[in-house]
Amino acid sequence: MRLLSLCLLGATLGAAEAPVFTPLLDAQLSQWEKWLGVPHRSYEVPGYVRGATPKEDPVLGLNRDPLDVFTVKVVDGEPVLHITGQVFGGLTTLKSFENFHLRTQHRWGTRKWEPRLNAVRDNGILFHCIGEHGAGGKNWMRSQECQVQEGDIGDWWPIAGAMVDAAVKDEDGKVVRYVPGAPLRAMRSRIWHGTDYPEKPSGEWNTVEVYAFAGDAVFRLNGRTVNVVRNSRYREKGSDQEIPLKAGKLQIQSEAAECQYRRLELRPLTAWPQEVLADVPAAK
């Protein structure tokens, strides 16, 4: 009986020590703020006054969302984030995070908008977001991006001067692909996830995860690692100085495609979890 009690105590302590996921979504979006850029000229926006030329069109800006681009509905007892995509922009956490494991489920809707009516549906999860809203194309903060795009969930993209190191190889002279074990290269443009890709059909839920620890990051899709980036940092425009980029807010993009997120949650990390440890060799 004493041994059983000690075992139960040990199990309880172990469970208490494990990092716990914290939900980031609720019906009021209480942990987030909205930023929307310049609406496309193909449609009107209530209360919005355009400039004399497209370049002079103002952004909608902070927490001004007359078209309800970002909304939450409770479905089967859980909050679901709906993004129409009609205006480029980002839903941004009020808090910043450093070492974390972000986990969510994502699926596509049916609507698309200008200027991407004839393009694949596009979205993205931005992390380590710092500085001013709209630094990237008037739409997003300086950050690292885990791409969420049809056929490309798990690509890496830099926003507003961000850069990383990655194990990559050139692919047909057109794209650079993540290849485990390849030499590390400094990257300031897209890193393709490759062809061995576990994305589900459009309309079904995909589980997308971002692990960020000590300036490195691992992207996983439906339980499989699809990209790894190292040594997160950035450069200011016109400068050669590289500045570490290891913490910041999160942003969920709106980028001309309808989509949904649910079970958006985050837990802190004090070390790489076992399931991704082998993907970051220097962490062993």
- What does the pLDDT look like over 171-186, one tens digit per residue? 887 899 999 999 999 9
Mean pLDDT, to the nearest integer, of 95-123?
A: 97
Binning pLDDT at 50, 70 and 90, where does residue 11 land?
A: very low
pLDDT at site 270 = 96
Instruction: Report which of 218, 208, 219 is spatially closest to residue 108, judged by C-alpha positions.
Output: 208
What are the pLDDT digits (tens) for 210-247? 999 999 999 999 999 999 999 999 999 999 999 999 99
- 38 with 88: CB under 8 angstroms? yes
pLDDT of 6 over the 60 cut: no
Give pLDDT, residue 194: 84
pLDDT at 17: 60
- Domain annotation for the chain: domains and CATH numbers: 21-270 (2.60.120.560)
Q: What is the identity of the amino acid at 257? A: A
More confident residue, 6 or 145: 145
pLDDT of residue 34: 98
Instruction: Give the chain's mean pLDDT.
Output: 92
At residue 228, the pLDDT reads: 97
Give backbone dihedrals phi and psi of 21, rounded to 5 degrees, phi first.
-75, 140
- Is the pLDDT at 8 greater than 80? The verdict is no
Q: Per residue, what are the HEC states of 76-91?
A: CCEEEEEECCCCCEEE
